[in-house]
């Protein structure tokens, strides 16, 4: 029916800045912008926006692919999927909880 995204916002922003720094260090790009929406989203709404500018499209596409793949693996944003008969966290399993982990939620986007 709809989705809800939650995040450990301070860490999510720091991780996204790390990804941007990696892009600048490893790809021939000029600028990068990343946004991940939080809260309730209707099915089909855009949840992630990544824009990369570069002199050549190959570098921009490669950097964009790296950014989305890395964001989904490392940025602490969690998705809950709501259905007519209930709700589940995406991927349905809890990660290992360490002293650094603020909450036990799936690490999935």
CB 23 within 8 A of CB 34: no
pLDDT band at 87 (very low <50, low <70, confident <90, very high): very high
Q: Torsion over CA of 15, 37, 106 and 51, rounded to 10 degrees?
A: -50
pLDDT band at 91 (very low <50, low <70, confident <90, very high): confident
pTM of the model: 0.78
């Amino acid at each position: 029916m709809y989705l809800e995204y939650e995040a450990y916002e301070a860490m999510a922003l720091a991780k996204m800045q790390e990804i941007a720094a990696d892009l600048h260090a490893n790809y021939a790009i000029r600028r990068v912008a990343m946004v991940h929406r939080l809260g309730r989203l209707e099915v089909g709404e855009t949840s992630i926006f990544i824009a990369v500018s570069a002199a050549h499209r190959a570098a921009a596409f490669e950097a964009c692919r790296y950014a989305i793949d890395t964001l989904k693996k490392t940025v602490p944003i969690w998705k809950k999927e709501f259905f007519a008969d209930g709700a589940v966290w995406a991927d349905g399993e809890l990660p290992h909880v360490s002293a650094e982990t603020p909450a036990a939620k799936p690490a999935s986007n």
